[in-house]
Chain A
């Protein structure tokens, strides 16, 4: 879902400035999370292409793998926004440690269902 850069008129300067601002302003922790997000996205794209181009035969297996990616992606993205220092005002009840525990619990539940669905 996130790759939306190509859809808008790609003027060069905003993108380069965006990348520059990103690499300068983002803490290392968040960059680490972002790397994981990119990996998940690539993995999801690969599975989706396989489904489209080759076969979707064990459809439950495809869905399990793909939703594992998507689910892990959004849970990680949730963790990212919860631990992002800029969002401190929004998440008053959720400390970064709590956010990580939530993330771990969500991932465990998600993968319980993934493995159950994998069949």
Chain B
């Protein structure tokens, strides 16, 4: 047996094992460092703040937890959200994220490290991404070996698909959820492999943590049963499967019901019925196995077999029947829209209105995963080749998550770990094949080819079954015994180049191996560059401040949001109610600290529709709505001056649609279009559009900015008609520097009891129309 390149000879096995584990530790710490460091672009470029909309609520809740303690947080009723209604926060959130930060906060303070809770919240996601890398390492180690595990950890440490939801400052549930997902899956695989109730219980406990952390726990709730079911159907039932699944399900389901937001759902809703069904089926099968072990009649076994089928079908029928009878709640809209992709748009516009709920385009797969996209299928195929129980899991995970990621952009996040694992398996198999120094003996020219093929598959198979460290040691020992004396790589290279008698076709020489590996490392280097580039350019911008560049190239920060929110915080009464579209609810509550009508937790569609109706109707119609809800200020986002496209005029159609769903007679989408069916804001805009509160609030005094020039809306690229809209029932209270945030104060009723429009007309010096008033004098007074 010859080798392709020189191997050190006098190494003891212990040295090799120790060195390998040292290298693994160093590599894992470097990967953690890279995972943390690549998420800090936003903190370094801007500042350490919370980014998007949802994290502002999490941050606010965490502050309550940190300042008032856990019990106050658990029973927290927030009277400022959903203004007239209030919100029972303890029962409507997943408290895992806040509890985690609270624990970290208290631990650090116990050790006299007085870190501000905001910094803990900002840096939680990078910290947990390092843990995710470690969990992925452990998971992949169970599938192949440590070297594949390291590759997977390196992939998930920097892959943009995961960074996008876990940059510093993105204090969202996904920050810890992906770690919990991977670790729960790792424990499940471990439990299944060993048949250990201990790991099953651990999986259940981490499943509980996952349930407490993220609504996506339903993914685990269905992945594990599907895996178990497929194993049963493949005829791979074993007592280990019974032990692992039963201990996971019994403890996990009961523990998941402790989270108040989940409540009795695990026994009442369709999402959780797969787990229950497989649990029941496993009990039946286990009992059948027990009986089979005592009785050996073939006919009897057949009867049992049919009995199992009948009971399984009966169980499914019972679940279906209970669903129809109303005992088990059918799928919720959010979940159902994953299967019927047209469902949300038709029936629940509020789900369809979120940009993350759109289908994924191909470019975003390449942007988020780059190289991993095309290594991923190869890794899945390699899983098929080996097909142990845990490989079945990865295959199912790959199929299911790929489908979901194709349906919805935000579910790319659950696909990413699987892609990293499968790609790492593929790439590590490739490297195993080409780094493996074993050369075939050059005896006969005819058999060389077939020998080559055999030994490749043989070596890769042995490589992945046994652990890497002992394998490496064995290989080194074998090589040390059999190494040829002239094993200098350079000499080998020269020998290969001159075409010595040993040359065979195939990838045996040092040069060919070197070429393949060079390409591999080149691709990996490009992957690192791509990830860093995408992270820094696309995913590291806090949406609170907008960054732009001046004409001379210097960065320019547009900070209108905080300007306006702090204006609200400092210049309005403590209990002044602010109405805005629901996107900004959390930010107003977090930064301006004022009660809001609606916020990002869209639990009450009618209330949101009320706001949509107020925004989309004329002032006369909107004013009673505003007064009835005690609204003091109305806040709109307007990007027409700056070209900020995510403003309220562009979201206006969703407000109309949501309002139309509740009041189809009063608000009709078609009225806001031109007769030609266009959505315009210039002089061709429809009359109802021009009279809507949103239009007036957005373009109030806008034309004055331009003097005599035509007023150009830079988002819509349309000219706003000259007589600027007038407001009778609202006063402009504040407009930020770049006109992005405009705040209007709602006028109180007129002192003399006139309606405000005529009072304004009177003060404006307009003559009242002569002639008989349209309504009786008494009625007009009211």
Contacts of B205 in A (CB 8 A): 109
CA gap between A99 and B247 in the complex, in Å: 12
In the complex, the answer to whether B240 meets A90 with C-beta atoms within 8 Å is: yes
Chain A, residues 33-71, CB within 8 Å of chain B (1/0): the string is: 000000000000000000000000001100110010011
In the complex, the answer to whether B291 meets A18 with C-beta atoms within 8 Å is: yes
Choose, from B280-288, B318-326, B354-362, the stretch at the interface: B280-288
Taking each of A17, A25, A64, A77, which has the highest tally of chain B beta carbons within 10 Å of its own beta carbon? A77
Contacts of A90 in B (CB 8 A): 195, 238-240
CA gap between A93 and B195 in the complex, in Å: 8
CA gap between A67 and B204 in the complex, in Å: 14
Chain B, residues 37-71, CB within 8 Å of chain A (1/0): the string is: 00000000000000000000000000000000000
CA gap between A105 and B258 in the complex, in Å: 19
- Supposing A1-B280, A102-B198, A109-B204 touch, asked if A81 and B247 sit within 8 A by C-beta, the answer is no
Q: Please, which residue of chain A has its CB at the minimum distance from the CB of B267?
A: A63
Contacts of A102 in B (CB 8 A): 196-198, 201
A-contacting residues, B182-220, CB 8 Å: 194-198, 200-201, 204-205
Contacts of B293 in A (CB 8 A): 86
- Supposing A8-B307, A109-B204 touch, asked if A21 and B294 sit within 8 A by C-beta, the answer is yes
CA gap between A116 and B256 in the complex, in Å: 12
Contacts of A113 in B (CB 8 A): 251, 254-255, 258
- Answer whether residue B297 sits at the interface, using C-beta atoms and an 8 A cutoff: yes
- Answer whether residue B483 sits at the interface, using C-beta atoms and an 8 A cutoff: no
Q: What is the CB-to-nearest-CB distance from B80 to chain A, in angstroms, rounded to a whole number?
A: 29
In the complex, the answer to whether B195 meets A75 with C-beta atoms within 8 Å is: no
- Answer whether residue B156 sits at the interface, using C-beta atoms and an 8 A cutoff: no
Q: What is the CB-to-nearest-CB distance from A74 to chain B, in angstroms, rounded to a whole number?
A: 4
In the complex, the answer to whether B286 meets A22 with C-beta atoms within 8 Å is: no
A-contacting residues, B295-318, CB 8 Å: 295, 297, 300, 303-304, 306-307, 310-311
- Number of B interface residues at 8 Å Cβ cutoff, please give it: 44
- Answer whether residue B546 sits at the interface, using C-beta atoms and an 8 A cutoff: no
Q: What is the CB-to-nearest-CB distance from B639 to chain A, in angstroms, rounded to a whole number?
A: 49
In the complex, the answer to whether B258 meets A116 with C-beta atoms within 8 Å is: yes
CA gap between A102 and B254 in the complex, in Å: 18
Contacts of B247 in A (CB 8 A): 74-75, 78, 106
- Supposing A75-B197, A93-B196 touch, asked if A1 and B284 sit within 8 A by C-beta, the answer is yes
CA gap between A117 and B257 in the complex, in Å: 8
In the complex, the answer to whether B250 meets A75 with C-beta atoms within 8 Å is: yes
Contacts of B238 in A (CB 8 A): 90
Q: What is the CB-to-nearest-CB distance from A90 to chain B, in angstroms, rounded to a whole number?
A: 5
Q: What is the CB-to-nearest-CB distance from B57 to chain A, in angstroms, rounded to a whole number?
A: 27
- Supposing A110-B250, A114-B254 touch, asked if A79 and B197 sit within 8 A by C-beta, the answer is yes
- Supposing A8-B303, A77-B286, A82-B195 touch, asked if A63 and B250 sit within 8 A by C-beta, the answer is no
In the complex, the answer to whether A82 meets B311 with C-beta atoms within 8 Å is: no
Contacts of B240 in A (CB 8 A): 90-91
Q: What is the CB-to-nearest-CB distance from B316 to chain A, in angstroms, rounded to a whole number?
A: 15
Contacts of B370 in A (CB 8 A): none
Q: Please, which residue of chain A has its CB at the minimum distance from the CB of B241?
A: A90
Q: What is the CB-to-nearest-CB distance from A86 to chain B, in angstroms, rounded to a whole number?
A: 6
Dominant SS at the A interface?
Answer: helix
Contacts of A103 in B (CB 8 A): 197
Please tell me which one of the listed residues A2, A64, A86 contacts residue B287 in the complex, with CB atoms under 8 A apart: A2
In the complex, the answer to whether A81 meets B294 with C-beta atoms within 8 Å is: no
Contacts of B221 in A (CB 8 A): none
Q: Please, which residue of chain B has its CB at the minimum distance from the CB of A99?
A: B197
Q: What is the CB-to-nearest-CB distance from B141 to chain A, in angstroms, rounded to a whole number?
A: 16
- Answer whether residue B246 sits at the interface, using C-beta atoms and an 8 A cutoff: yes
Q: What is the CB-to-nearest-CB distance from A93 to chain B, in angstroms, rounded to a whole number?
A: 4
Please tell me which one of the listed residues B195, B198, B295, B306 contacts residue A14 in the complex, with CB atoms under 8 A apart: B295
In the complex, the answer to whether A22 meets B294 with C-beta atoms within 8 Å is: yes
In the complex, the answer to whether A74 meets B198 with C-beta atoms within 8 Å is: no
Q: What is the CB-to-nearest-CB distance from B254 to chain A, in angstroms, rounded to a whole number?
A: 5
Contacts of A12 in B (CB 8 A): none
Q: What is the CB-to-nearest-CB distance from B211 to chain A, in angstroms, rounded to a whole number?
A: 12
Q: What is the CB-to-nearest-CB distance from A2 to chain B, in angstroms, rounded to a whole number?
A: 5
Contacts of A114 in B (CB 8 A): 254
CA gap between A62 and B198 in the complex, in Å: 26
CA gap between A32 and B310 in the complex, in Å: 31
- Answer whether residue B584 sits at the interface, using C-beta atoms and an 8 A cutoff: no
Q: What is the CB-to-nearest-CB distance from B106 to chain A, in angstroms, rounded to a whole number?
A: 21
Please tell me which one of the listed residues A14, A78, A117 contacts residue B242 in the complex, with CB atoms under 8 A apart: A78
In the complex, the answer to whether B197 meets A25 with C-beta atoms within 8 Å is: no
In the complex, the answer to whether A82 meets B251 with C-beta atoms within 8 Å is: no
CA gap between A14 and B302 in the complex, in Å: 13
- Answer whether residue B689 sits at the interface, using C-beta atoms and an 8 A cutoff: no
- Answer whether residue B253 sits at the interface, using C-beta atoms and an 8 A cutoff: yes
Q: What is the CB-to-nearest-CB distance from A23 to chain B, in angstroms, rounded to a whole number?
A: 10
Please tell me which one of the listed residues A14, A18, A70, A81 contacts residue B286 in the complex, with CB atoms under 8 A apart: A81
In the complex, the answer to whether A94 meets B254 with C-beta atoms within 8 Å is: no
- Answer whether residue B762 sits at the interface, using C-beta atoms and an 8 A cutoff: no
In the complex, the answer to whether A14 meets B204 with C-beta atoms within 8 Å is: no
CA gap between A89 and B298 in the complex, in Å: 24
Contacts of B307 in A (CB 8 A): 4, 7-8
Listed in ascending order, the chain B residues whose CB lies under 8 Å from chain A are 194-198, 200-201, 204-205, 238-240, 242-243, 246-247, 249-251, 253-255, 257-258, 264, 267, 280, 283-284, 286-288, 291, 293-295, 297, 300, 303-304, 306-307, 310-311
A-B contact pairs, 7 of them (CB 8 A): A2-B287, A7-B310, A78-B243, A78-B247, A98-B198, A106-B247, A109-B205
Closest 8 CB pairs of A and B: A71-B250, A74-B246, A1-B283, A102-B197, A21-B294, A78-B243, A102-B198, A81-B239
